[in-house]
Homo-oligomer: A and B are copies of this chain.
């Protein structure tokens, strides 16, 4: 999807420049500011009631705006939902991928990705993750919102795959370590953590996810790996 940021091929320098440029933008058009405020409010609502439940009316009420006022910025409920998916993806990128780029290529960066991802899941225990709830809501509903969700997930899974390939290239993982396999196993841990901690409210889920991650790394590594004494994200 062309509307999604293509951070996955950007270098750290590209990303730093883009962020600086964004923050230097002064007085963006008021319409853009309003639109962004609506998207922020809609995203907050979507994490509570689900993306599917999002309507122009509910967001208008939240923003104390008229329905036609909200409608004029998006043109359809689907476009509002897709804007929320894009904003969620942007935050996901900013909180998980950008900080990981500060770590050296290979296992340190892969570990940072996992740690920031877990950190985000922990924050989302109170609000929910639309990549998880959206998957359930839209798994059997073809259309542009489902496509936007799948495309976002595929994009960050692709970036995750590349981080694994780099770890293999650096010799931190075995030459035969398959990036789709390793990414599947790590993604599964995140889903397990979200399920146990948010739905079952089980204690110790975070520690279990960390232990399991080390097990996955160990299994795909050429030599015993000593886990870091303290993770950087907690």
Contact = CB atoms under 8 A, between A and B. Distances in A.
A67 interface: no
Nearest to A220: B215
A208 interface: yes
Contact of A215 (B193, B198, B219): B219
Given A140-B48, A219-B218, A184 B208 contact: yes
Contact of A184 (B128, B133, B212): B212
This protein's copies in its complex? 2
A133 B195 CA distance: 11
**What 10 pairs across the A-B complex have the smallest Cβ distances?**
A188-B192, A191-B191, A135-B199, A188-B188, A136-B136, A184-B208, A139-B199, A133-B136, A185-B212, A215-B219
Interface of A: 48, 50, 128, 132-133, 135-140, 150, 153-154, 157, 180-181, 184-185, 187-189, 191-193, 195-196, 198-200, 204-205, 208-209, 211-212, 215-216, 218-219
